[in-house]
Structure 1
Amino acid sequence: MSVTTEVYWINIRLRDGDHKAFLEIYNRHGKTLYYFAKKFIQDTDVIDDIVHDSFLNLWNARHRIKSEYPIENYLFRIVRNLVFKHLKSQLKSHEALVELKHFEEKRIVQQSAEQTVIEEEYDGIYELAIERLPPQRKKIFMMCREEGLSHKEIAQFLNISPNTVKEHMSLAMKTIQDYIAKDHGVILSLVFVLLF
């Protein structure tokens, strides 16, 4: 697998224990890994721990890094494994665990380009589910999830009660979860539940 000369030398420096090379790698990939994990886990503290542990694992295994191997592939594999471990600890259903394991094993063998396709596919399914919501419910859901407004703020903005907002959100979540589970499998539905 070809890598740029710059990446090649960063890998060499990392393998030799160069802290500046490690910092360069962190600055280059830290945010990407964070947002990748965030697609599956909502708890920011857990995400921070996963990203931190990923870089710690990278540092501890630096002597085994191949100079021609893209570091981001290695980091994504670590993050996927840690995300899987966290999701596994959150799920109790044996069937869900089996399906999650199968899903994760398929992801591990994919190359970087395929990772993007999967992420875009999930985003597309999620957007299709949102489009199925009635207009008012969709508006409330987007204000809450995309704009980060509280139920109280949405209620004031739309001149409705907070309880009405809460009811719309509850129904929206159920509609989206049911759509994902029905048309795209249990695992994506479970990921959606954990994400929201």
Structure 2
Amino acid sequence: MTTFFSPDDLSDLAARVQRSDELAFRQLFDALYGPLLRTARTLVRDEAVAEDLVQEAFVRLWDWRTRLDAETPLRAWLFRTVRNLAFNLRRDAATRQQLLTDPAALASAASPRPAASPDAHVCGDDLTTLVSALIDDLPPRQREALLLTRVEGLSHTEVADVMGCAPRTVNNHLVAALSTLRWRLADAGAMVAAFLWCVT
């Protein structure tokens, strides 16, 4: 079961981790592994690879613990590390693919998937599936801002730190993402559900 830690609790854990407290490191791992894994899954779409990325992020945290600034927000640092590892992995995979295939095949593989064509009447599990598909189809920066704030509970400031942008830019990504989701869900005949999902 995941334990909830307040920002003050996380700051205390971070300070203890920087002093090489293994119990604090384990508590931090238990608290943040699930949220980090969900984020990694959205970036690499492979369970085993996502698990490896999260574990690598924690290994790096432990290796760097004594060199991190005392004011470093470890939750944002871990999310940013997972994000960077995922992007590096995708970049390296794309480079390998480009070397192994011709440019036409690479362009074809990189073409976007067609948009989902949801049924007119959606409810229950179908709505969850539809929302997940629509979130997957959002532009990457919008999807990332949405998941980090609405699913993982990071503040706009923390998300800005993870994404390397200003908090106002995070807000702009969220507004655009929620607007897109609202009208696509409304098109699917799920306006009330969309409204409830967006305001909770």
**TM-score (norm. length: structure 2):** 0.49
Q: Which has the larger radius of gyration?
A: 1
Return the structure number with greater relative CO, CA threshold 8 A, min gap 6: 1
Write 1 or 2 for the structure with the bigger share of helix: 1
